[in-house]
Amino acid sequence: MSINQILPFASTLVMLIFTVSVFQRYAVRRKPHFLFWGIGLAMFGAGSFAEAYFSIFGWSAVVFFLWYFFGAVLNAGWIGHGTLMLLVRKRWRNIVTGILIVGSLAAAVLMFQAMARLNPANFQAGVPISEQFREIMPAIDAGGVVRLTTPFFNVYGMVTLVGGALWSAWIFLRKRVLPNRVIGNVLIAAGALSIGFASTLTRMGYGQLLYVGELIAAVLMYIGFVMAGRPEPVVERNPVATSVPAAGASD
């Protein structure tokens, strides 16, 4: 097996553990940001699983749907939306949640339109799907309009997830409290940026680094999530107000 066949399995395993951890936390605390993080991470995992599937079993239209729709289009936006749920007021949360759901449904319609125009004859076994999906999907002006939706979801996810994590890390650092959340949020931001960077390169025609970027993202974000949610070591007796929401924190 080549390294590009092994990496998606590793990413899928990490994302599975990560997703289960987040859903467990949602089951206990019933906070909506855990739900959106969990859904987004499950989408990320579906994308990684699809890559692993392609490397072993070859072409499948359903798996291609999973890979592109959940792995390339939606996951960043939904993970980032979880962070937004922590940072803004309820009224805005409801409005943006509605926009995200409607946008996702619209993207689904466009994805189904593209699915009818796929060209599976161009699929090459042994070649990472990130390097050959352009030959399989229709061009934008030939029914592949869904490809135009990826920047919207990914920019939204980038701003909310990375921006939220960096902002939280900065606030904690400035207040000189909760160093585990400072580090945890930095790791979450770095992980999200690694997949964002790899995705951007893929979009520009350099898909070789996507699987490495995915694994780095999965590992860094999971470690960051665990660190940010870790119970605090008790080191002093003077209470300090810490009402600042933390991206990736246990809340």
Binding site for another protein (CB under 8 A): 134, 147-148, 151-152, 154-155, 158-159, 162-163, 166, 169-170, 172-173, 176-180, 182, 186, 189-190, 193, 196-197, 200, 203-205, 232-240, 242
**Tokens 């395993």, residue located:** 13
Contact 165, 186 (CB under 8 A): yes
Going by the DSSP 8-state scheme, the letter that residue 30 receives in this structure is -
Q: CA 251 → CA 28, 87, 161, 197, 227, distances in Å?
A: 12, 12, 16, 29, 13
Choice between 63 and 166, CB closer to another protein: 166
Contact 195, 217 (CB under 8 A): yes
Q: Which is nearer to another protein, 13 or 145 (CB)?
A: 145
CB of 45 to another protein, least distance (A): 22
The nearest distance, CB 206 to another protein, in angstroms, is 9
Q: Looking at beta carbons only, is 27 or 174 nearer to another protein?
A: 174
Distance in Å, CB of 235 to another protein, minimum: 5
Contact 67, 50 (CB under 8 A): yes
Least distance to another protein, CB of residue 186, Å = 6
Instruction: Measure the CA–CA gap between 133 and 54, rounded to whole angstroms.
Output: 12
Q: Which is nearer to another protein, 66 or 186 (CB)?
A: 186
